[in-house]
Structure 1
């Protein structure tokens, strides 16, 4: 006689071991990214003698394009194939990266390595986000995303600092990228052996989810339209995420070069490169949880405005102490925004199409790296680095004001149910969403390919 398998349990306490393991895995994903933030801008300048800023930022452009595209497919693939296979594919894509960076004979190899880095980050980071959302359930998503993003960006910061120290002691290559190889080996091993599939948790939540106009299975085209422009909270999150990573691309590619203009040492540049993501990472431990209590919208709006002020201060400053203070403010603003945007996407999206909604959001968000590399590089070549920073500061402030005017509060306990808003009713009438009278059940299966439009 056989007994039915117990239904998956939702919540951080019920899934503490797997959730903690995924936090560790995401820290390793962040470490791979952090190994480039101090060293690659200096490689472009010192070893490959790329005089034009636009040319020097091509690796960020390649990273941003490949990561944005991969994010989109990560959500769809995780629904079709399961979360764990996508996570493993992300780690597999990273295997050649350290060797390519260490032995690159020309800048084209660096660009190619960053295409693989974008695929790695798009698959692995996106999947750890989706898996944590699966496990956490509806009530503590802000805390879950805060823990996830804190782990990733604290690892970015620690690795940026460590690679600066290694580069100062042993040179720009190969020592910093041996650390990258260690992260990849450990991350792949932990994911293959210990991480468990979480798609069943999403099935369980979908089966018990309250039906509404935005419930049921949507086509990928419908999800893309909702997240990109039709649904005010989802699209507001997408534009804010894109602008956030636009200014992060600027920070990654041009700040180390700006800092060298006053004769800062490699160790000091590494410290500044680490300070911003360190505050960003630590701050998310507080802001993600606080958004569960006070709502998502205030953190998103205030965070974007704080980033704009910080960028203006960096453009005005000239010296380690002033730049350090501005980097702290930039990190604090980003900490307010980053986990809260992901939580707001999860608040609105139904479990049957949530993974794809996260993928589309991350498509737009990480497209900001590419946009930032192009914009910052072109403006810096034409008018200088400080002018490029001013332009990005203005865009960041505009993004915060747009979120303030367009976005509603998404937290299910603090805001209005989005299914009752006029925008959702209009979307139903325009057949963007299945209506509440549809015969399709709210708990459509996540198995198999999504229906086509």
Structure 2
């Protein structure tokens, strides 16, 4: 008996919740997510222009097909990731995501046809869905309920700052070396780094078990925790989760739309690749860095105010892009600032809100469902942008994005409620 107790105590004390208590593992996961964001950042500046200038595409919808493929693939992977965590450890899924991502930079750099680019984006979506889902879940596991906003803010800050810096770098590289293959081969560094560090990161299953044991609210008898039940609950039945899901969808609809439309819009108005790279890089850099104070603020003042204000600021950013288009660089920079800061307010607050309203027993499925709706926004944004741009023009597409974003913010104000963790 004495021996059993003696061997058990160190194990109990080894697993602790908190940012400071798990700072080494948390930091490793932050660096992993820098690599995750860097890989998807390869496409932000150059890919729409590769479609038009290298492969000669004339339809905007055809150009945006790579974003549709990416968004659908990532969204479905996010949804599956929640269910997969019931069968596999998070670290196993993280490593799988990196292995899937190995061919992506080479396909983007040397694809002989646009169909290869679209296929590479299916793999990129699988990679992003597994790696980004696991890094955010693992960080939430490590810190426990009291610092979720800060944890998600740090995670998303790392990823989206990397997206922005990579978009900026690819713009400058494309100016000096052409649209391909040099800018895309940066991705080899990101894949190698992410895969190597994921081999070092420890799994967080013990932290989830500890939080479950401490949770003030026991799981109600008979409550279903499977993917189907949680999907319905997160998508519609729970008012706050429904509000977060629709806001996430529209937020990434914006991102998918700007991903495809802004390089074409601003090059049409005379800007070069370096200037477009600055605009496309500034948006996610501010989005990324801003999530650190935004995540901390979400823990202090609640999630809902940040979501509503952030969506309205994004809507204003779209209108700025059009109002000042006679000075395209100024229009692009001011729009990027508003979109970046608005999204920074929204992103960590939404993930933290979903975590607040989900019991630890079904939180992974709830986050997977939310991330499904959020990232289906990429595909929806690219589809809407392609249809509107082909029929009404790029300017009308930007106006439609502003209207949808403002409406989503008002729905979030009506549906989302803040909940204090006991």
The bucket for the TM-score relative to the shorter chain is: over 0.9
**Inter-partner Cα distance in structure 1 for 2:134 and 2:411:** 29
1:79/1:199 contact within 8 Å kept: no
Structure 1: distance between partners of 2:175 and 2:368: 38
State which of 178, 181, 197 in structure 1 corresponds to 2:203.
Answer: 197
Structure 1 residue 213 displacement after superposition: 6.4
Is 1:44 paired with 2:51? yes
Where 1:172 maps in the other structure, the secondary structure is coil
Q: Does 1:254 align with 2:254?
A: no
2:360 equivalent in structure 1: 351
C-alpha contact (below 8 Å) 2:290/2:341 kept by paired residues: yes
CA distance in 2, matches of 1:241, 1:411: 21
Provide the aligned length of Structure 1 versus Structure 2.
412
Residues 214, 350 of structure 1: 8 Å contact kept: no
8 Å contact from structure 2 (residues 219, 361) kept in 1:
no
Query: Aligned residue for 1:447?
Result: none
Cα offset for 1:75?
A: 1.3
Contact residue 153 and residue 292 of structure 2 kept, 8 A: yes
Q: What CA distance in whole angstroms lies between the structure 1 residues aligned with 2:217 and 2:106?
A: 51
Q: Which runs of 5+ in 2 are unaligned?
A: none
For the Cα contact (< 8 Å) 2:83–2:226, is it kept in 1?
A: no
Secondary structure, aligned partner of 2:146? coil
Q: Residue 157 of structure 1 corresponds to which residue in structure 2? A: 164
Task: Tell me the distance in 2 between the aligned counterparts of 1:334 and 1:385.
Answer: 22
Are 1:95 and 2:105 counterparts? Answer: no
Give the TM-score normalised by the residue count of structure 2: 0.96
**Residue of structure 1 in register with 2:129 after alignment:** 122
- Deviation (angstroms), 1:212: 5.2
SS of 2:397 mapped into structure 1 = helix
Residue 331 of structure 1 is matched in structure 2 by 340
2: distance between equivalents of 1:391 and 1:93?
35
8 A contact 1:313–1:326 mirrored in 2:
yes
User: Is 2:303 the partner of 1:293?
Assistant: no
Question: How far has the Cα of 1:211 moved from its partner?
Answer: 2.1
Q: Does the CA contact (< 8 Å) of 1:224 and 1:357 recur in 2?
A: yes
Give the deviation of 1:78 after TM superposition: 1.8
SS at match of 1:395: helix
CA contact (8 A) 1:296 1:411 kept: no
- 1:95-136 deviation digits (Å, cap 9, x = unpaired): 111111111111000000000000000000000010001001
- Higher mean alpha-carbon deviation, 130-139 vs 213-222, is at 213-222
SS at match of 2:87: helix
SS in structure 2 at match of 1:164: helix
- 1:386 counterpart (390, 395, 401): 395
Question: Do 2:139 and 2:151's aligned partners in 1 also have CA atoms closer than 8 Å?
Answer: yes
Q: Which residue of 2 aligns with 1:133?
A: 140
- When residues 124 and 31 of structure 1 are mapped into structure 2, their CA distance, relative to the original with a 3 A threshold, is same
**2: CA distance, partners of 1:37 / 1:374:** 17
Residues 172 and 273 in structure 2, CA contact (< 8 A), matched pair in contact too: yes
1:236-278 Cα shifts (integer Å, max 9, x gaps): 1000000000010011111001010121111111001001111
Change (3 A) 1:188 1:213: closer
Partner residue, 1:436: none
Q: CA deviation at 1:79?
A: 2.6
Give the C-alpha shift of residue 217 in structure 1.
Answer: 5.5
Give, in angstroms, the shift of residue 316 of structure 1.
Answer: 2.5
On the 8 A contact 1:253/1:373 being kept in 2, the answer is yes
